[in-house]
């Protein structure tokens, strides 16, 4: 049976995305852990978060420095109601556990839409989950958007005034 990393590697190959994961035994479950392990700023970490919008799973790709604003996400996917998926819903939709969900290569029931935080485009390289809680891989923001099929829209909470 293929591992989550094997499944992600196959998806990356099919999408023409270089997949060179780095493994950190101490873990990369949170954006802060991943940034510390990689040695980058937390804003260059891709958080792949599953939400449920009007009953359908959607994936929000957000900078590690930001939080998703559910009202903005709802507007981006034209939904009346958006809530964060629970762990079982996230795994069912993507085939990956929370803390290791990559931005593409999902094998679950499928997300219906992917929306990317434009702040991720400000970095020459971003780092995304490599299929498990201890690995991440680098990719160009343009590859992130292309491979995930994301729409770029402002979905992060507005900065305090």
Q: Which H or E run includes 93?
A: helix 87-94
CA distance 60 to 49: 5
Buried b (16+ CB within 10 A) or exposed e, 44-81: bbbbbbbbbbeeebbbbbbbbbbebbbebbbebbebee
Give the confidence band of 88 by pLDDT, cuts at 50, 70, 90.
Answer: very high
Give the confidence band of 153 by pLDDT, cuts at 50, 70, 90.
Answer: very high
Helices H, strands E: what count in the chain?
5, 8
Beta bridge partner(s), residue 82: 53
Residues of the chain with pLDDT > 70, as a percent, come to 98
CA distance 136 to 46: 10
Residue 158: is its pLDDT beyond 80?
no
pLDDT at 160: 59
Residue 16: is its pLDDT beyond 60?
yes
What does the pLDDT look like over 22-65, one tens digit per residue? 998 888 888 998 999 999 999 999 999 999 999 999 999 999 99
CA distance 45 to 128: 6
Average pLDDT in the chain:
92
CA distance 89 to 117: 22
Domain ranges of the chain: 4-15+30-152
Q: What angle do CA 125, 103, 63 make, to 5 degrees?
A: 55
Architecture of the CATH domain 4-15+30-152: Alpha-Beta Complex (3.90)
Give the confidence band of 161 by pLDDT, cuts at 50, 70, 90.
Answer: very low
129, 40 contact by CB (below 8 A): no
Residue 6: is its pLDDT beyond 80?
yes
What does the pLDDT look like over 102-125, one tens digit per residue? 999 998 778 889 999 999 999 999
């Amino acid at each position: 049976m293929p591992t989550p990393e094997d499944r992600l590697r196959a998806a990356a190959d099919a999408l023409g995305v270089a997949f060179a994961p780095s493994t950190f035994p101490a873990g990369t479950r949170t954006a802060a852990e991943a940034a510390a392990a990689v040695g980058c700023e937390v804003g260059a970490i891709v958080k792949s978060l599953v939400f449920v919008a009007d009953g359908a799973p959607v994936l929000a790709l957000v900078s590690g420095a930001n939080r998703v604003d559910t009202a903005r996400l709802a507007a981006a996917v034209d939904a009346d109601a958006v809530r964060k998926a629970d762990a079982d819903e996230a795994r069912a939709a993507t085939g990956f556990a929370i803390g290791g969900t990559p931005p593409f290569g999902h094998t679950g029931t499928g997300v219906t839409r992917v929306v990317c935080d434009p702040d991720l485009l400000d970095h020459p390289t971003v780092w995304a989950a490599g299929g498990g809680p201890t690995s991440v891989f680098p990719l160009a923001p343009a590859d992130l958007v292309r491979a995930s099929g994301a729409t770029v829209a402002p979905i992060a909470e507005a900065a305090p005034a």
